[in-house]
């Protein structure tokens, strides 16, 4: 019984940590984006069309990031928003792993159904 | 967009987040009218912004509640199948409707929320000790009494149905949907109010994420508006929840019920 409770506590910590990391990372990215934007010309141009996930990632990790011009402020903001929107996906994945650690296979299945629905919607939206 | 505009957006986010946290209904209900009526932001963009803010506040709150064992994670996962399905359908439907129609539907939702808040004020939920009957049993330690509360979940098909509707409303109008789920979990399923609120909040982030990328792919997510407002709502919710622990003003809640009614009328006539 005590062992069961210890596994459950560990599972809860895993889920909680996934959520905390997601919120903090996204908040820092969005905060940095707003700061960079405010240190620049005073007027920030928002692109008419949202970039794709791959565009955001490649621009985020490119050297152009260091130049911190107006478009890079936007890239930071997009990166923060995407991290935030993906946080619940990571939370469901963490729950799946946690149920697996508890050997609760029925709920591993339930979590996987939710995860598949989310990934399906993501793929459908961004195709 | 100028720097002063997004400072104002941040301040607006703090204000709406504080009110939402204070009243326990989330920031979206006030954030959307603020964006539409004060900033003249198109309805679809306001909904997309609110959805992102909902993910942030839900994730931050759930991180605390899971560690306090207030969340029934197994129940949350089961109900998420329904809310995610509803949210995807709601998000797709919203992108087929015009901004005017969505604004009118949102105005009606505000009236429903105001009505439910008034009902809740007149009939406060009873926090009785639940016998451990029903499925998906869980327990938590009530911080106020120090007692361990054990409960089971009853009439789950009905709660799944309400969750489906709540998910649909969330995807369609960008609110969390807790206003529907919490009473259903408490009154229909017999879940203690603290566990029901924490479990609903835990689910809201996943529900919102289900429709977030639909709005993103349709180009409704403005990164400046969404980031400034989300950071504001996140700070405001934290402030509101802490204020709510100290202020228990019935009058304040009634004032906001009237404000919601007026905002609903303004949104409908816009």
Q: Hey, is the C-beta of B52 within 8 angstroms of any chain A C-beta?
A: yes
Q: Which residue has the higher pLDDT, B244 or B226?
A: B226
Phi, psi at residue B98, to the nearest 5°? -80, 160
Q: Write the pLDDT tens digit of every residue in B60-74.
A: 999 999 998 899 999
pLDDT of residue B118: 87
From chain B, the residues in CB contact with A44 under 8 A are: 1, 3, 224
Q: What percent of chain B has pLDDT over 70?
A: 95
What is the domain extent for residue A70?
2-126
**Closest-CA residue to B232 (of A31, A12, A50):** A31
pLDDT, mean of residues A73-100: 94
Q: Do A92 and B2 touch (CB under 8 A)?
A: no
DSSP H helical ranges for chain B = 3-23, 28-33, 43-67, 73-94, 99-122, 156-173, 178-183, 193-217, 223-246, 250-269
Give yes or no for A122 touching B (CB within 8 A).
yes
Binary contact (B213, A126; C-beta < 8 A): yes
- Report whether pLDDT(A90) > 60: yes
Interface check B205 vs A, CB under 8 A: yes
Nearest residue in chain A measured CA to CA from B80: A114
Cα–Cα dist A127/B99, whole Å: 25
Domains in chain A: how many in total? 1
* H-assigned helices in A1-127: 2-39, 53-61, 70-101, 105-126
Q: Calculate mean pLDDT across residues A75-100.
A: 95
Chain A residue closest in CA terms to B234: A27
Contact B63 A19 (CB under 8 A): yes
Tokens of B197: 């609120």
Confidence of residue A67 (pLDDT cuts 50, 70, 90): very low
| pLDDT (average), residues B78-102 | 96
ipTM value, please give it.
0.92
Mean pLDDT of B143-163: 90
Whether chain A has a CB inside 8 Å of the CB on B73: the answer is: yes
What's the average model confidence in pLDDT over B195-223? 93
- Greater pLDDT, B80 or B147: B80
% pLDDT > 90, chain A: 54
Model confidence band, residue B108 (pLDDT cutoffs 50, 70, 90): very high
Q: Given this model, what pLDDT does residue B132 score?
A: 60
């Amino acid at each position: 019984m005590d062992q069961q409770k210890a596994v459950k506590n560990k599972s809860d910590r895993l889920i909680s940590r996934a959520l905390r990391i997601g919120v903090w990372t996204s908040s820092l990215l969005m905060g940095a984006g707003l700061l960079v934007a405010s240190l620049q010309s005073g007027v920030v141009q928002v692109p008419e069309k949202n970039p794709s996930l791959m565009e955001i990632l490649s621009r985020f990790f490119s050297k152009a990031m260091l130049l911190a011009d107006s478009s890079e402020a936007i890239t930071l903001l997009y990166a923060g928003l995407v991290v935030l929107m993906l946080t619940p996906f990571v939370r469901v994945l963490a729950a799946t792993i946690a149920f697996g650690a508890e050997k609760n296979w029925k709920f591993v299945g339930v979590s996987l159904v939710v995860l598949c629905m989310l990934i399906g919607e993501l793929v459908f939206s961004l195709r | 967009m100028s720097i002063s505009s997004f400072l104002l957006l941040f301040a607006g986010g703090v204000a709406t987040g504080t009110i939402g946290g204070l009243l326990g209904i989330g920031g979206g209900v006030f954030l959307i009218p603020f964006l539409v009526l004060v900033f003249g932001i198109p309805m679809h963009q306001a909904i997309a912004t609110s959805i992102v803010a909902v993910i942030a506040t839900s994730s931050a709150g759930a991180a605390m509640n899971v560690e306090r064992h207030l969340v029934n994670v197994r129940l949350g996962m089961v109900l998420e199948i329904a809310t995610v399905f509803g949210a995807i359908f709601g998000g797709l439907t919203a992108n087929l409707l015009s901004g005017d129609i969505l604004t009118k539907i949102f105005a009606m939702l505000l009236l429903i929320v105001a009505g439910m808040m008034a009902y809740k004020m007149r009939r406060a939920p009873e926090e009785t000790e639940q016998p451990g009957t029903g499925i998906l049993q869980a327990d938590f330690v009530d911080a106020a009494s120090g007692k361990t509360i054990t409960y089971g979940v009853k009439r789950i098909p009905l709660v799944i149905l309400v969750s489906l509707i709540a998910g649909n409303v969330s995807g369609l109008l960008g609110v969390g949907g807790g206003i529907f789920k919490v009473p259903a979990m408490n009154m229909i399923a017999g879940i203690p109010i603290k566990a029901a609120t924490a479990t609903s909040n835990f689910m809201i982030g996943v529900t919102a994420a289900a429709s977030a990328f639909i709005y993103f792919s349709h180009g409704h997510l403005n990164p400046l508006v969404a980031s400034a407002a989300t950071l504001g709502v996140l700070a405001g919710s934290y402030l509101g929840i802490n204020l709510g622990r100290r202020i228990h003003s019935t009058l304040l809640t009634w004032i906001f019920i009237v404000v919601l009614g007026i905002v609903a009328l303004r949104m409908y006539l816009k």
